[in-house]
Structure 1
Amino acid sequence: MSFNFETTYTTLPASFYREIGPNRVKEPCMLLWNERLAQQLNVDDERENVDLFTGSQQRDYIAQAYAGHQFGHFTMLGDGRAMLIGEHAYQQHRVDIQLKGSGRTHYSRGGDGRAGIGPMVREYIISEAMHGLGIPTTRSLAVTATGLPVYREEVQQGAVLTRVAASHLRVGTFQYARHMLDENAVRDLADYAMARHYPSLEQGNYIDFFRVVMNRQAQLIAQWQLVGFVHGVMNTDNMTISGETIDYGPCAFLDVFQSNQVFSSIDQQGRYRYSQQPAIGGWNLTRFAETMLPLIDDNEEVAIASLEEVLKSYPRVFGDAWLAGMRDKLGFATARPEDKSLAEQLLTLMEAQQADFTTTFRALSEGTAIKDLGEWKKQWTARLEQEGTTVEEAQQRMQRVNPAIIARNYYVEAAIQDAEAGNMETAKVLVEALQNPYIVREEHAYLRTSPAMAKPYVTYCGT
């Protein structure tokens, strides 16, 4: 079947979006096509329909309005280089189909709205890697060349990413409604979000709505920490209401474990460093709570107290999710009080020894040589014995949750450089391998480690 486009988002007040027409391109060409995702969406092979995937087809598009705190500073934003084709409805599911890098919109703020091939290939690779790891994420269906130059620090080839998301509702969308519109707009948006993402919630129960969004985000960030993922730009406009990871700009995975690792070139103060991600999640959720105040109670003090009571549980929800995941990574079948300390001791050792994050856990899973864990490994073995689990039994479980391969920075960068030179095969091979990162075929074994990079790895937002 073809796309079954509907658009429920436009049932919201018109202030939430702007209609835009097609953005013409010069020489559209399909570069990457995600056949697996197309099949999941129950969509025929649309690779020849390049006008659709560059935003140059004659049809109605919309750009969504939102605001947000960027590095702690509040500003008006919106889809400055993206537009929504529509919502694809299939098999009782509904997803946004959005084009990123498709050209100027009402919210471009002087920008050209375009994107280069490199950043779009990065998002394609990393989003599919996250999906392979089982982490909630937006997906990438296609990357299409436009034939237009994009002027940044240097001239790049233009490209458009087709992004698939449960929706593009963000904490920043609620901030826009609260600070730029009015209470009625916040209520309309909350009702829409609840109906779309959490239909089992009682209508008008905004406390439970806030609680479920908070829990989803706490669990999501715990999953990031467990695989060594550094998002890099945890602005409030990059926190979704659905609980999906969104916006793969200056992101990267840890190689050597450094708890304060920063990759983003623009994060000079380390606001979004690896170790800070859980706290920033709580900060962002506090901003979300502020937008919900008028819906909770007419008495603001009562509303604040109600939301603060929910927010108090955020550290516990995150901590429980992280510890449960760490128990899985260490092969524990039961919970014991010393587990958190044992996990933290391992991380401390890894950092002191400059151990590779992914390789350490996988080697422990496979019983292969790793850094000298000395006394810690004896404690780990004793902990398994206490619950009656053999090392071999634990390792079988561990191999199901500790990836053998990740989107390592060296190979992601190589794929991007090849793509910019016109060769998409490197990216295709990498994405194919990352579809199942727990079982490595012989031809993908080289991805388990990577050559040392000549200088510290730095990522860029691509705007």
Structure 2
Amino acid sequence: MKATFDQILLTPRFGRLPGHFYSRILPTPLPAPYLMAWNTELAHEMGFESMAEQQPNLTDYLCGNRLPQGSEPIASIYSGHQFGVNAGQLGDGRAILIAEYLAPNGRHWEMQLKGAGPTPYSRRADGRAVLRSSIREYLCSEAMHGLGIATTRALGMAGSEQSVWREKLETAAVVLRVAPSFVRFGHFEYHRQNPDSLQTLADWVIQSHYPDCALASNPYVALLESVVERTALMIAKWQAVGFCHGVMNSDNMSILGLTLDYGPFGFMDSFDAGHICNHSDSAGRYAYQQQPEIGLWNLHVLAQTLLPLMDKESALHALQSYQGQFENHFANLLRQKLGLLHWQEDDWNLITRLFELMHHSHCDWTYFWRNLPTSGSQLRNHFQDRATFDIWFANYQTRLSTEARNPLERQAAMNRVNPKYVLRNYLAEIAIRKARDEGDFKEIKALQQCLMHPFDEQTNFEHYAELPPEWAAQIGVSCSS
């Protein structure tokens, strides 16, 4: 028997912590809600009834108008550094944790509504999310999962004609997102001045999510080391697919190394090492090439926060491992993207020259990598300096010749790591416009279906692999997205 919302409820384990870690708050009813999306694949994975019609009152559950029986919703309190500045007290300003679900396979899933109304941490805002941003989060979290990148997930989405003002008048929507935990670096930052609370939180995270750390001589050092490792891997994977988060504040960094909070994100079309996807980021703090360094910067903030639980030398040692781990992960991903069996130190030169050529010509990131194994020599037409690309490509062919590998086998391996499909901004924009202007949500479902299998050839979705149209350059996303 598959679960329904009428049957599931575990009080969120986070809600068993002392009351100063959160506030109890009920979602604000959303008038006349309608179903926008239900993730049948994720529902099946979680052990839910996967078909929407098998979930009674589904739309009301997705927007918070109805809660699982016995639910005690909470919004948590945290702090954070925003654009490098300590922002003081923050918290779940538009996210409400409604339940925790124990799946048949033993996995715990926290269930959080994003956009379900104000909380004590909304800072005079309305606590709502808009249709535009909700569609983007729903699609991108599932796209990232399809790419094999650790992320929160999206189980469903509901909308309403209720007006919400952002940069203009828009309509409201709510995403039901799920994750093993939504704890952020910022949760630790908030409790830094209270060593007892800091240790309580660290003990909870270790017990709930890092049990192996409890066996270490200092579990808190082991926790920091684990978070460093997960963060390095996550960001290396971001870089490999050209993903830009857009707002890597410390309060948007997951303690589990999950991609968290999809706001002004973007997958690069034309490669630009300094690409800034967030129009609110005027100084380019979170540009593509800055993301690895910002990941380390945020880990420094976390390490400083944890100093009451460890000595400074141990914290520094954990942080010093980040750069090597990131480079190893990134080199391994690049090796696979190039179709190489083994990494050689000289391969950095090959990669560096390629990045310089792509940056100069603004070559499309996803298109280049996907077509490298089959149309490599023809890619010269996408570069301004074709003669220099020819030299690079000849060097690349020479490097490939040093390894005995069947060309068809190499092509298949490269296609398993170089996606054909990513959530380009223009694809999300088309889905948003159809939903907003026509009340048509089929495009959301079609895109989701495609992005679940981004490495596969999908003839029915071939149009999603097309280069972006000219109007796509006019799409802007900001911290209100």
Shared fold (TM-score, shorter chain, > 0.5): yes
Q: Distance in 1 between matches of 2:362 and 2:321?
A: 33
1:40 aligns with 2:45: yes
Choose from 1, 4, 17 the match for 1:2: 4
SS of 1:461 mapped into structure 2: coil
- Which residue is equivalent to 1:327? 335
The alpha carbon displacement at 1:454 in A equals: 5.9
The alpha carbon displacement at 1:47 in A equals: 6.5
- Which residue is equivalent to 1:31? 36
- Over residues 409-430 of structure 1, what are the superposed CA-to-partner deviations in whole Å (9 max), with x where a residue is unaligned? 1111111121212111222111
- Which residue is equivalent to 1:304? 312
Asked if structure 2 preserves the Cα contact closer than 8 Å seen for 1:32 and 1:142, the reply is: yes
Q: Distance in 1 between matches of 2:113 and 2:294?
A: 28
- Which residue is equivalent to 1:287? 301
1:68 aligns with 2:80: yes
Which structure 1 segments of 5+ residues have no match? 297-302
SS of 1:453 mapped into structure 2: helix
Asked if structure 2 preserves the Cα contact closer than 8 Å seen for 1:366 and 1:399, the reply is: no
Could you list the runs of 4 or more consecutive aligned residues of structure 1 that deviate by over 4 angstroms after TM superposition? Answer: none
SS of 1:370 mapped into structure 2: helix
1:426 aligns with 2:443: yes
- Look up the equivalent residue of 2:445 and give its one-letter code: K
Which structure 2 segments of 5+ residues have no match? 381-385
Q: Pick which of 145-154 and 13-22 moved more.
A: 145-154
The alpha carbon displacement at 1:74 in A equals: 1.3
Q: Distance in 2 between matches of 1:254 and 1:49?
A: 35
Choose from 403, 418, 430 the match for 1:387: 403
SS of 1:141 mapped into structure 2: strand
Asked if structure 2 preserves the Cα contact closer than 8 Å seen for 1:263 and 1:457, the reply is: no
Q: Distance in 2 between matches of 1:216 and 1:447?
A: 31
Q: TM-score, normalised by structure 1?
A: 0.95
- Which residue is equivalent to 2:383? none
- Which residue is equivalent to 1:359? 367
- Which residue is equivalent to 2:414? 398
Q: Distance in 2 between matches of 1:424 and 1:47?
A: 20
- Which residue is equivalent to 1:171? 185
- Over residues 63-109 of structure 1, what are the superposed CA-to-partner deviations in whole Å (9 max), with x where a residue is unaligned? 01111011111121101111001111112100110000000111111
The alpha carbon displacement at 1:190 in A equals: 0.6
Q: Distance in 2 between matches of 1:5 and 1:192?
A: 20
Q: Distance in 2 between matches of 1:453 and 1:257?
A: 17
SS of 1:384 mapped into structure 2: helix
Choose from 91, 95, 100 the match for 1:82: 95
Q: Distance in 2 between matches of 1:173 and 1:195?
A: 16
SS of 2:306 mapped into structure 1: helix
- Over residues 224-278 of structure 1, what are the superposed CA-to-partner deviations in whole Å (9 max), with x where a residue is unaligned? 0000000000000111011110111000000000000012121010000000000
- Look up the equivalent residue of 2:478 and give its one-letter code: Y
1:15 aligns with 2:29: no
Choose from 116, 131, 139 the match for 2:145: 131
1:120 aligns with 2:123: no
The alpha carbon displacement at 1:317 in A equals: 0.6
- Over residues 116-156 of structure 1, what are the superposed CA-to-partner deviations in whole Å (9 max), with x where a residue is unaligned? 11100000111111111111111111110134211222221
The alpha carbon displacement at 1:358 in A equals: 0.6
The alpha carbon displacement at 1:366 in A equals: 2.5
Q: Distance in 2 between matches of 1:406 and 1:160?
A: 23
The alpha carbon displacement at 1:21 in A equals: 2.2
The alpha carbon displacement at 1:330 in A equals: 0.4
SS of 1:387 mapped into structure 2: coil
Asked if structure 1 preserves the Cα contact closer than 8 Å seen for 2:337 and 2:417, the reply is: yes
The alpha carbon displacement at 1:60 in A equals: 2.2
1:233 aligns with 2:242: no
* Identical counterparts, % of pairs: 38
SS of 1:460 mapped into structure 2: coil
The alpha carbon displacement at 1:49 in A equals: 2.3
Asked if structure 2 preserves the Cα contact closer than 8 Å seen for 1:433 and 1:440, the reply is: no
Q: Distance in 2 between matches of 1:28 and 1:255?
A: 35
- Look up the equivalent residue of 1:354 and give its one-letter code: H
Q: Pick which of 332-341 and 212-221 moved more.
A: 332-341
SS of 1:375 mapped into structure 2: helix
Q: Pick which of 233-242 and 197-206 moved more.
A: 197-206
Aligned length: 455
- Look up the equivalent residue of 2:456 and give its one-letter code: I
Asked if structure 2 preserves the Cα contact closer than 8 Å seen for 1:365 and 1:402, the reply is: no
Q: How does 1:371-382 map to 2 (within 5 A)?
A: 371=380, 372=386, 373-382=389-398
Q: Distance in 1 between matches of 2:292 and 2:474?
A: 24
Q: Distance in 2 between matches of 1:127 and 1:441?
A: 20
- Which residue is equivalent to 2:464? 447
Asked if structure 2 preserves the Cα contact closer than 8 Å seen for 1:330 and 1:394, the reply is: no
- Over residues 176-203 of structure 1, what are the superposed CA-to-partner deviations in whole Å (9 max), with x where a residue is unaligned? 1114xx0011101111111121112225
Pair 1:453–1:260, CA change in 2 (3 A)? same
Asked if structure 1 preserves the Cα contact closer than 8 Å seen for 2:272 and 2:359, the reply is: yes
SS of 1:109 mapped into structure 2: coil
- Which residue is equivalent to 1:252? 266
- Look up the equivalent residue of 1:259 and give its one-letter code: A
Q: Distance in 2 between matches of 1:123 and 1:101?
A: 12
- Look up the equivalent residue of 1:370 and give its one-letter code: L
Q: Pick which of 72-81 and 324-333 moved more.
A: 72-81
Pair 1:226–1:47, CA change in 2 (3 A)? farther
- Which residue is equivalent to 1:54? 63
The alpha carbon displacement at 1:2 in A equals: 2.4
SS of 2:213 mapped into structure 1: coil
- Which residue is equivalent to 1:213? 227
Asked if structure 1 preserves the Cα contact closer than 8 Å seen for 2:75 and 2:95, the reply is: yes
Q: Distance in 1 between matches of 2:56 and 2:307?
A: 46
